[in-house]
Structure 1
Amino acid sequence: MIPEDLAPRINELTAKSKTDEGLTKAEEAERKELRETYLALFRESFRSRVEMMQVYDKTGKEVTPDKVKKVQRDKGLRDD
């Protein structure tokens, strides 16, 4: 889960960087660290969602990709 205060702080620093004032070295380092943290959390969340999904066609037959099924079996989420 991405903390609620993370994105607003990144946006605040980005807006400041676009002004004449610019960012200090400490603020640049903070922005870089916050961005890396945000991306890591986003990727983790996205991966989890993909690993949990099941895909069905219009007739109701499961057509979940085999790669996703394997990951689900490895994590104990599937019985088949």
Structure 2
Amino acid sequence: LLWLVVVLSALVQVGVVHWQRSLMQVWATEDARRSQLQQEHSRLLLERGTLTAHGRIDQQARKKLNMTEPDKVQVLSK
């Protein structure tokens, strides 16, 4: 009976170690994915900042829409 308990305990131990290693492998895969997504997010934030910079918007408006500064500016007050 004691041998049976020892063998059963060893089998449970092997199962738990295998399960833990499987979970660690899944965790490592997901952590790598998280890191990749974080890098992509940072890159996209930088790209958005570049695309929405005021100088770039002004340049695009002048180039694509042929917009210019007005010749005469009249300010009306109350």
TM-score range, shorter chain: 0.3 to 0.5
TM-score, normalised by the number of residues in structure 2: 0.41
Bigger helix fraction: 2
Q: Which has the higher contact order (CA 8 A, sep 6+)?
A: 1
